[in-house]
Structure 1
């Protein structure tokens, strides 16, 4: 087989390498072309050198090109994969820093909450640019695979306004299933059969069977509470399981910021989170982790390049959906996964226009969703709160409507639990002004926002958050990795 895959945001070096090697684990895909594109020539050069080394070491006919000209990369592409972060870590730092001034403590801030909503405002205009180029220069039947957050908002905009065949992809379901299999004592995650459905980052394991045996809520609660690690790292997640009756796909830290109950008071935050790793609830945890990862990669790049000389091992193929979807579409080997698509009747008690994440099967006829799923009422209610925020956020981004943007942020569950309307109005003005270089649709609103900020009497505070850790130096990271290696 010979076709072209374009990767937008290919400068996300580690993730691009994973997608690349996964895809090349499919025997029929050795003769394809990868077209890499990014706004950073520096990052492009680094990832191309790594992928070229992989091709050379494995004696493959695979072609790798790299360009900052996006349309050139997309020309004739059958599949387009996006893993962009518009504004990079600079804008992301403001997604965390500015809401903290108003008492809003986020762990990740890339899905909803104040940070995720502004992230969507930066991404959506760019997503629509991608879609325009796909319609104009890509293969006639091109499929857009979106890995970028905020997943639901990006996918919603691409489908509804970009008019491109789009599917959103995430690995939260797989990771949650691996946890459940582990606590239940399974020898392999493959022993666990499940139905997981909802919206991205709020997906729920509504049916569980281990080797064909149904698993009850009580058995699952007991298994998690008895686990020596997860009982400490997933306290909030286990509490939601007890109250809702089903387990959420999302990590302790992620789940905490989609709900109005656990991060509303600083003294409550430390009760529910765990500081052993960023993903369990640390203030700005993913920002710290991303910053450290970038610094580590820049410093240790020669090691990454050397590691690329190893043979590709299909046994190490990851559970990221992309390679499996492409394999199913191109070879007709059926793949079952969980995909972000427009609802259209898949989940009976969520809105038809919402972007849901639910089980589906892929073959040469495309992605076929399992329809007619009904969520437990509490799960649907929690999803609905986020869907309403997502819908307003998408519409605001499309129209450049700062008033609707403020209403979207006001209706966010955690923001609403912490901030007053006056605080929300000022916070959004401050974020739009700070990020104006990435928000072209709000250019007309920036002067008035600056004027309001100059006269505002709403008080703020400089606050690091309830559970903040400093970014570690390269030397500290090296020492920690050495200690872990010695211990293991």
Structure 2
């Protein structure tokens, strides 16, 4: 089975390959094709993968190419893990937004809109090519903003594109762990959009254990989200929000923390990864050791500004192990082998969440089998969450309209309607600022 990874020179690709190395079952991935526009990054990542595979008999064969059509042709699965504009672009997204006093995070608020505007045209081109060159392939989208990009690709691939994210999985795992339950045995009632969802229940043997957690301040304050949001606020909500909702519920504090930080997250990662790829220019460097060291630092500093503003302290060791690669492997196995499972995924709504139309991509539990991912119908959200989901989905639709038409006015509208952008004039300045620094937004007229 052939797996193509777009963005194959990306830093997190070894996580995916490491997961593949653990799969010894029939019908497993035997060939991995890495595609990237940067040949130097491809060579660096290929070295890490070679060291990972050194002690594994019959490891998946790895090839690399800068030719997109060659990479797609004949693929069974395609992972889309691109970053249009690179980490330098992410740093620019943050800088322009923070200068206007609004959030620049890569998936939330102004930064997410800017990232989406320059990513959607590229993702749509990939979707069209995949439909032509690998019509039977399943496209698994890692690219942020994951829900928005998945929806853009679904207009050309239908339900054969599925978005994944490790945030809901990690949240469910933490809740189950605190309750003393096995996460694999838990049904997680999670619903929303990517990076905008809530756990409303966690059922073990048919019994919802979330009320027990919400009623116990010590338990509730003992894990990441309890520390980040505070016990009182979680009890008021009656649910456990995805960590990214901290940007909404504590926006002023987060923006201030980002403005006061020595470097933004994007600038930090750009510098950090530049050092890694520079180190890989030395043919004698230990590639896997350098990658492991860099990844540990990356994970330990994840959402550091949010935790600092909330006084949440350091991340727990159990939360430093990633997870999206495990979701991807479980998804592939379920489809390729009909190993039926339940995963929280980004898929077209198809009536699962009644407040949104059938084509809106949402993030909900899905039953997965050889026919793909089938969203499970979920109960309506409370009004406060419904309003936020509908507002942000409306913004995503404006981003898609702007990217499809090249309309600068639609881009301004997308920024202005976002709950974290507080002025139409700010929205206009954001569009000006982003088009000044991003050549990829020259299409907006």
Normalising TM by the smaller chain, what interval? 0.7 to 0.9
Deviation digits for residues 406-463 of structure 1, max 9, x if unmatched? 01100111112xxx3223212211211221x222522xx3xxxxxxxxxxxxxxxxxx
Post-superposition offset of 1:49: 1.9
Other-structure match for 1:244: 237
Task: Using the TM superposition, give the Cα deviation of residue 300 of structure 1 relative to its aligned residue in structure 2, in angstroms.
Answer: 5.7
Q: Please state whether the residue corresponding to 1:65 is helix, strand or coil.
A: strand
Determine if contact 2:93/2:114 at 8 Å carries over to the other structure. Answer: yes
- The counterpart of 2:372, out of the listed 366, 369, 372, is 366
Report if the CA contact (8 A) 1:244-1:378 is conserved. Answer: no
1:220 pairs, out of 206, 214, 237, with 214
Aligned to 1:469: none
Deviation string 1:235-280 (CA, Å, 9 cap, x unpaired) is: 36x555233221112x2xx3233x2x5224x6x866xx7x9xx9xx
Take 2:9 and 2:336, find their aligned partners in 1: how far apart are those partners?
27
Counterpart Cα distance in 1 of 2:195 and 2:271: 24
Give 1:285 shift.
Answer: 4.9
Structure 2: distance between partners of 1:245 and 1:189: 20
Return the offset for 1:214: 2.3
1:256 equivalent among 246, 250, 253:
246
1:183-217: CA deviation from partner (whole Å, max 9, x where unpaired) = 33x16433543211111111211222346542354
Q: Which is further off, 300-309 or 323-332?
A: 300-309
User: Structure 1, residues 269-303: CA drift from partner, whole Å, max 9, x if none?
Assistant: 66xx7x9xx9xx97975324523541453366534
Tell me the equivalent position of 2:273: 294
The answer to whether the 8 A contact 2:435-2:441 is kept is: yes
Task: Give the Cα separation in 1 of the matches to 2:220 and 2:374.
Answer: 38
| Other-structure match for 1:16 | 13
Change (3 A) 1:116 1:181: same
Query: Pairwise CA RMSD of aligned residues?
Result: 3.0
- How far off is 1:30 after superposition? 5.3
Match in the other structure for 2:310: none
Tell whether 2:111 aligns with 1:115: yes
Q: For 1:42, what is the secondary structure of its paired residue?
A: helix
Relative to 1, partners in 2 of residues 1:221 and 1:36: Cα closer, same or farther, differing over 3 Å? farther
The TM-score, its normalising length taken from structure 2, stands at: 0.83
| Separation in 1, partners of 2:194, 2:398 | 17
Cross-structure match for 1:136? 132
- 300 and 174 in structure 1: CA distance in 2 versus 1, 3 angstrom threshold: farther
Which residue, 169, 173, 178 being the options, matches 1:178? Answer: 173
Counterpart of 2:426 in structure 1 is 423
- 2:2–2:32 Cα contact (<8 Å) kept: yes
Report the CA distance shift for 1:80/1:377 in structure 2 as closer, same or farther (over 3 A). Answer: same
- What's the counterpart of residue 461 of structure 1? none
> Structure 1 length as normaliser, TM-score?
0.77
In the alignment, the residues of structure 2 paired with residue 387 and residue 121 of structure 1 have an alpha-carbon distance, to the nearest angstrom, of: 15
Q: Does 1:104 align with 2:102?
A: yes
TM-superposition CA deviations, 1:124-177 (whole Å, max 9, x none): 111011112112212x31111100101121011101256572110001111111
- Counterpart secondary structure, 2:421: helix
- Change over 3 Å in CA distance of 1:116–1:383 after alignment to 2: same
Looking at structure 1, the residues matched to 225 and 201 of structure 2 have their Cα atoms a distance apart, in angstroms, of: 22
Of the three residues 385, 388, 391, the one matched with 2:397 is 391
